[in-house]
Structure 1
Amino acid sequence: MLYYLSTFSDVLSALNVFRYLTFRTGGAVMTALVVSFIIGPFVINWLKSRQAEGQPIRDDGPESHLVTKVGTPTMGGVMILFSMSFATLLWVDLSNAFVWAVLSLTLGYGLIGFADDYLKVTRRNTRGLSGRMKLVAQVLMGALVAFWIVSFSDDAHATAVAVPFTKELFIQLGWFYIPFAVFVMVGSSNAVNLTDGLDGLAIVPVMIAAVVFMLIAYLAGNAVFSKYLLIPYVPGTGELAVFCGAIVGAALGFLWYNAPPAQVFMGDTGSLALGGALGAMAIATRHELVLAIVGGLFVLEAVSVIVQVISFKTTGRRVFRMAPLHHHFEKKGWAESTVVIRFWIIALILAVIGLSTLKLR
């Protein structure tokens, strides 16, 4: 919205600053952060008034959670989504189709998560929407957004997958790209959801990944930088840097209240939405495989669940003491803060490796 003030720069030259992506991205970070701080106490108090007993806790989870997590409200993702959306719409070029596509998927997945959280809270158990219902809704939304992005993308690799660490090597998928894109978005969404099990565990890696894709979006949308780095040039994706900035600000604001001991959990409302946002960002910027590196922590968490389920169903034995992976280390005696901080370190290392793909070719 503020972007359009730059059209009056001939009257007041200072307004030309609203044309710059870097300025508006920084503005989005600060706006989302401030909004989170302002609405945080009100949202938490409102959630507490509606959730007298807080989020239902798994009986088969770590024993400590039955003590330390009881009474903490969930659905704090509404705080993230509101702050992020407000900052995005305030600072972005509203005529940019990429922003609307990615934002639509984010809010759509957030709505699915909200319904899931609502059923869990009202029914007072850990089962919300059925897994099949959630998956069908995610696939349908993902397919619509994937087709939408491909339809207005005018670059030469709209249906191709770029291979990291190589020079201009693309795997052309044609119409098979749509199912692939859906897999990326749905997989990313559920992987972040599985990671969200300890105070602050998921939100910081999401924030780290958002910073990486903020840079990728800026570079991919710039003809000069993308040509120099030999990455796909996707006109218009630069505006997604503003969207990523809004995620970073909203994530920082939420972390203020989610830091141990958490005053609120993001719930599926936040985790499904943020995971979907990262997946959609990867699709829009043509960095799908880079997401698997940058979000490697989420991949590990998801794989640990898959391996555990397959092993138990086929052999009757468990590979991990408990899945997802962070609960395995809790069961081994690691303190919650130790697990969280070490996983943050892993996420940061993977982000650096992911960034290296921009230059090492």
Structure 2
Amino acid sequence: MIFLINKCLNFKIFNFISYRIIFSLITSFFINLFIGPYIISCFKKLQNFQIIRTNGPIGHLKKNTTPTMGGILIIISICLSVLLYCDLYNVYIWYVIFIILGYGVIGFLDDYKKIKFNNSHGLKVLYKFFGLSIIAIFIIYIMHLNQANKIDLELIIPFYKKIIVKINYFYIFLSYFVIVGTSNSVNLTDGLDGLAIMPVIFISSGLGLIAFLSSENCLRNDINIFHLKQANELSVLCASIVGSGLGFLWFNAYPAKIFMGDVGSLSLGGALGIISILLHQELLLLIMGGIFVVETISVILQIAYFKFKKKRMFKMAPLHHHYEIKGLSENLITIRFWIVSFILLLIGIISLRIHDAI
């Protein structure tokens, strides 16, 4: 909105995307700080408390008086910041907002059902998966209709620029798995105070940097990215996610005063997935989001191993619960996962230039 007003009034400071990135981050951060206490107080009165799994770690039982559905706070701050500082004529922005809101609704229904029936089941897995799939397929179809050139069907391979895979219509299936898969991966990782939100912040920062550089045609020969004219606005949106994430972490850090719930984890995961698709950095997302990948694989291995061997590979899945059962403190696990996530972010950024040395 400010971007559009700026165009009309010729207020030049907001002509520079760097200023809009900074203001977007700061605005979403302070929106969370301002309305966070009111949301927490309201949810406590409504008794929107976290439902703890009966078969989960014993130490989590004390969290049954901590409000959940804090993802609503994240979505509000992101959307307000985007409306203020993004170019609303840019279709990339609306792709991401559609996923955030759509997945947010699915997550809200899941959280609401858990609270209403006082159990950890939520929506049936089939219904939840169906809802996520319909939203993903719809937005992928719209994106496919609006494809402007053959670049839209090419996949960038990290670490080596000369390898660009033409995936043609496999793009549709890849996009689906990236959006739905990333959404569920973030959801699985969100099991400890502050655990999921910091990797989201790191990845959003990395994707925001790539989005900013993607609009610079002069850099296309120096780094492993496509020149995408519309992508620069995604850097403003990524900044709003970073700011919102930091603002939410203010209340979600150990000991958490509020949890994001499925409404937050599904929407944030979906947003990361579709942003990586728009930037053609799906494989880079696997690197930067390695924490989410490992957490998901640990669940898959646990289920498969138990099915065939009738015993557990890990003491509990996802992986962070395994370390909890082994005796590591929640805070220690979270911080170590943050460190690993930051290292993966750096590896991802390095991969944009490492082709020069190969």
Normalised TM-score (structure 1): 0.96
1:243 equivalent in structure 2: 237
Q: Which amino acid aligns with 2:238?
A: C
2:3 aligned partner, one-letter code: Y
State the match for 1:307 in structure 2: 301
1:7 aligned partner: 7
CA contact (8 A) 1:102 1:145 kept: no
Query: What amino acid sits opposite 1:7 in the alignment?
Result: K
Any unmatched runs of 5+ in structure 1? none
Instruction: Please name the residue that 2:27 is paired with.
Output: 31
Counterpart secondary structure, 2:64: coil
Per-residue deviation, 1:148: 2.2
CA distance in 1, matches of 2:310, 2:118: 30
Partner residue of 1:202 out of 164, 183, 196? 196
> Structure 1 residue runs of 4+, over 6 Å off?
none
1:267 shift after superposition: 0.2
Instruction: Verify: 1:326 aligned to 2:323, yes or no.
Output: no
Task: Provide the C-alpha distance between the structure 2 equivalents of 1:163 and 1:187, rounded to a whole number of angstroms.
Answer: 19
Which shifted more, 136-145 or 186-195?
A: 136-145
Match of 1:157 in 2: 151
Q: Separation in 2 of the partners of 1:319 and 1:235?
A: 47
| Corresponding position: 1:50 with 2:73 | no
Within a 5 Å distance, the mapping from 1:138-157 to structure 2 comes to 138-157=132-151
Q: Distance in 2 between matches of 1:157 and 1:353?
A: 25
Amino acid at match of 2:206: V
Deviations 1:275-319 (A, max 9, x none): 000001100000000000000000000000000000001111111
Aligned residues: 355
Distance between the aligned counterparts of 2:157 and 2:233, measured in 1? 24
Asked if the contact 2:158–2:224 (Cα under 8 Å) also holds between the matched residues in 1, the reply is: no
C-alpha displacement of 1:179: 1.3
2:163 aligned to which of 169, 182, 185: 169
Find the residue that maps to 1:40 and give its secondary structure.
Answer: helix
Q: Report matched runs for 1:230-269 at 5 Å.
A: 230-269=224-263
Q: TM-score, normalised by structure 2?
A: 0.97
Query: How far 1:153 sits from its partner (Å)?
Result: 3.5
Moved more, 139-148 or 33-42: 139-148
Say yes or no: does 1:279 pair with 2:279.
no
What is the identity, as a one-letter code, of the residue corresponding to 1:30? I
Contact 1:75 1:268 in 2 (8 A): yes
Which one of 198, 209, 214 corresponds to residue 215 of structure 1?
Answer: 209
User: What's the C-alpha RMSD, in Å, of the aligned pairs?
Assistant: 1.2
Shift of 1:167: 1.8
Deviation at 1:56, TM superposition (A): 1.1
* Residue type of the alignment partner of 1:312: F
- For residues 176-228 of structure 1, the C-alpha deviation after alignment (integer angstroms, 9 at most, x for no partner) is 21111010000000000000000000011100111001101111222222343
Aligned 8 A contact 2:51 2:114 in 1: yes
Aligned to 1:187: 181
Check the 8 A contact 1:6/1:18 in 2, yes or no. Answer: yes
After superposition, the C-alpha distances for 1:131-177 in whole angstroms (9 at most, x for unaligned) are 11111111111112122223323243202211111123222222221
Q: 1:130 to 1:122 in 2, by over 3 A?
A: same
CA distance in 2 between counterparts of 1:263 and 1:319 reads: 33
Letter in 1 for 2:90: N
